[in-house]
Amino acid sequence: MPDTPAAPAAATGRSGLAWLWLAALVLVLDQISKVLVMNQLTAYQEVIPLTGFFNLVHVHNTGAAFSLFADQPGWQRGFFMTVGVVAAALMLYLMRQTRGRPVFCLALALILGGAVGNVIDRALYGHVIDFLDFHVAGWHWPAFNVADSGITVGAVLLVLDSFRKPDKA
């Protein structure tokens, strides 16, 4: 007997939109942490060492992840805002269509919250506020923020979920 298509998402229970609370949490934590950093640390001047490998800093990133394209003449603000909005719309669409895949929905929610957090920064400030600075033996990982963490963890979860065996109907 040939495989039958899965029932439409609307007919199979709660959608992945039930995970929006997590996207909102990532967004709120991201924005609150950035406001605290902006109010407490002067950009590029202050460093608060917390451990032998972790500092709080205040830097501006006009580029993408790891400051990629930060040295460009300014096209990246609109471009990355557009990419973030399109990515958020795609995450919402996928979450709405998805049932019975909690890891997938968790990943999408983390990415959604992070993408919106960074779009807000670009819209308000023209750059993203980064402040988490990890370092080892004088080598510093590029500073990042809560939104970036959500995006990264979400991306890793998407990769892991891609190895999941599909459920048999």
Decide if 148 is catalytic: yes
Q: What are phi and psi of 152, to 5 degrees?
A: -65, -50
Catalytic residue among 130, 133, 161, 167: 130
How many angstroms from the chain centroid is the CA of residue 126?
18
φ/ψ of 54, rounded to 5, equals -145, 130
What amino acid occupies position 19?
A: W
Residue 79: burial class (beta carbons within 10 Å; 0-12, 13-18, 19+): middle
Q: Please state, in angstroms and rounded to a whole number, the distance separating the CA atoms of residues 17 and 168.
A: 23
136 three-class SS:
strand
- Out of 71, 148, 161, 167, the active site residue is 148
Q: CA–CA separation, 133 vs 59, rounded Å?
A: 10
Q: Among 138, 139, 140, 91, which residue's Cα sits nearest to residue 130? A: 140
**Residues with catalytic roles:** 130, 148
